[in-house]
Amino acid sequence: MMNTLSSPHPRKPLPRLLCQPGSRPCLCLCLLRLLLLVLPLTLLPVKMSAQKLSLSTNLVDYANFGTLNLDISYAVARNWSLTAGAKYNPFSFRDGQIINKQRTFSLGARWWPWHIYSGFWVSGKAQYMEFGSGGIFSPQTREGDAYGMGLGGGYSHMLGRHINLEAGLGFWGGFRKVAVYDCPVCGTTREQSRKAFIMPNDIILSVAYVF
């Protein structure tokens, strides 16, 4: 049974997600932080002619209130690649009354039945997400953390020597801690819970650059 709590003090919306409404350099700062998350991985030794390294971004995520995202993949065998990804959305709308914020990190692998970066693939990953969402369909806001494992699959179509178009679907499950508030900036806590979950996670329509 979940408890109903209340707080008499105003609550700042998602202070851990860094960028606040009205901050002019926020977008540039967020892009820089996202790139810094994956830049060290690009320093791995790579033979450029072997096309072992791939960077991709999911166009569908940008439709989710401008969620910034980047995935890096490194081939370790003909049929296997290791992956790391980050998603970041610090944005708010209508003076903070609409938010769908997140900060997500994942590590995983893909199996390619034919050859890396071409054709069908199946993936698995471990993922952590910090999230806050409210004001979209109702003022009620959910904030919390989630961690778990995900599975997915899709197809990578070669548009050229270095450009691929990827499509896929995925889901994930695990455990999450959630607090429910009356609105994105309200101090009243309606519910708090810890529970297991399983849900859709990825709708992928990505453009990938293969080095």
Say what the pLDDT of residue 95 is: 85
Per-residue pLDDT for 53 more than 50? yes
Please state the domain extents for the chain.
Answer: 17-131+146-171+201-210
Q: Which residue has the higher pLDDT, 77 or 49?
A: 77
Chain mean position to CA 179: 20
CATH number of 17-131+146-171+201-210: 2.40.160.20
Q: Distance (Å, rounded) from C-alpha 118 to C-alpha 165?
A: 10
| pLDDT at residue number 7 | 40
Is the model's pLDDT at 4 over the cut of 50?
Answer: no
pLDDT of residue 182: 87
Counted residue by residue, the chain has a size of 211
Q: What is the pLDDT of residue 31?
A: 55
Structure tokens belonging to residue 189: 């806590």
- Which range, of 62-71, 108-117, 133-142, 155-164, averages the lowest pLDDT? 133-142
How large is the average pLDDT for residues 11-18? 47
- CA atoms 181, 149, 128, 105: torsion sign: negative
Sign of CA dihedral 144, 201, 40, 163: negative
